[in-house]
Structure 1
């Protein structure tokens, strides 16, 4: 789906011009006819090889166009937390780091931490469907931040940890309130308070920020 933003349309315009030029050249190649005044004995195998080569070139052009469209129109998360319009990430603190793949005591961090002060409003990063609440921990001592929400939107399935959702079903438009950031400092004093963003398949969400 194409989004109505200047960056996408500029990219599509440039790639479109390039594609038109390629297709025009391809059309000229496929439209060549033998000169009837010349006594040419064209070998059938050569004709088949030429047709196959041209067909493969056409397929290559189509694949390149689709790749350009995908890159130009990549999904980006809008603002997640009030007070952090740029979606700044948790870097390093006394408890560790917030990037995807960061080391933990017995595991690897499977999400991306976006800075969010305790009590801040959490927003929908784009139009989303709420897929129910979730429990982050089994440890009762972490009950103060033991909540989150499942979401789907823009072809993505993801979760937000440490968010107290206003509701857990229905749809929310981009920029509308989803809930509030839970009191992380009460459980992890000194840690940079943050919303943990995790893809449903536990792949790296960094590309969307």
Structure 2
């Protein structure tokens, strides 16, 4: 009887231990199930945030790269306009052994295109060079020389009456031009332009007023001045469109 009592008590303890272990295991698993969705959600949110940050970083970097490339591209296009003319872009505080052109370079307004001097061909047929008219009874032909009332903003080149005038450089004719001097005399002519130069040629009768011309092509003939100004040196008049001195080119 005593042995049976001991066996029954041990059996009860064993069963109780097993049942208590099973209940603990169920509680632990239930806790894991209850907490897993929250952990998974937190992980998903963190992953989304990291992905968003990465995408934003890539997007910002791509935007900056595009802006830099766009700026560089603009700079190259602007400078190429100067380089194609044989010039160099530099700030206007440097001396240019030629003339400065605007709107040919990138950067600030003080960065200009320095184009070296290029000699023009002889304008007046039958002459070996472009000879500037000296002084006579009616004035002088140099740039900034004193006229009847004001300074001359042009250069007079000696030419024979009715002599042929040739294009000093290749370009395009851009229509008729005219101006009156201090004495009220009207000078007629034509405008010749290209990417570097723009010049008005007066005291000539053009063969035409528009169209492309090559260097040396005949533009017209010199109008006689002796009939109106006795003793004057026959000449044509060169005036740069911007009012600068054309002497370095002739």
Q: CA deviation at 1:208?
A: 1.0
Corresponding position of 1:99 = 142
CA distance in 1, matches of 2:223, 2:178: 13
Q: CA deviation at 1:153?
A: 2.5
Paired residues in the alignment total 147
Contact persistence 1:136–1:148 (CA under 8 A): no
1:197 is paired with a residue of what secondary structure?
Answer: strand
Contact persistence 2:139–2:148 (CA under 8 A): no
Corresponding position of 1:155 = 196
Contact persistence 2:96–2:116 (CA under 8 A): no
Query: Which of 216, 228, 232 is the aligned partner of 1:187?
Result: 228
- Larger RCO (CA within 8 A; separation ≥ 6): 1
CA distance in 1, matches of 2:98, 2:188: 37
Q: Moved runs in structure 1, 4+ residues, more than 3 A?
A: 66-73
Query: Which of 138, 142, 165 is the aligned partner of 1:122?
Result: 165
Contact persistence 1:79–1:86 (CA under 8 A): yes
CA distance in 2, matches of 1:131, 1:93: 32
What runs of 5+ residues in structure 2 fail to find an aligned partner? 1-84, 100-113
**Would the alpha carbon gap of residues 85 and 158 (structure 1) be closer, same or farther in structure 2, given more than 3 Å must change?**
same
2:239 is paired with a residue of what secondary structure?
Answer: strand
CA distance in 2, matches of 1:92, 1:68: 29
Which structure is larger by alpha-carbon Rg, 1 or 2? 2
CA distance in 1, matches of 2:236, 2:229: 13
CA distance in 1, matches of 2:124, 2:156: 12
CA distance in 1, matches of 2:98, 2:226: 43
User: Superposition RMSD on alpha carbons, in Å?
Assistant: 3.0
Q: CA deviation at 1:72?
A: 9.1
Counterparts in 2 of 1:1-209, with a 5 A limit?
Answer: 1-2=85-86, 73-137=116-180, 142=185, 146-153=187-194, 155-209=196-250
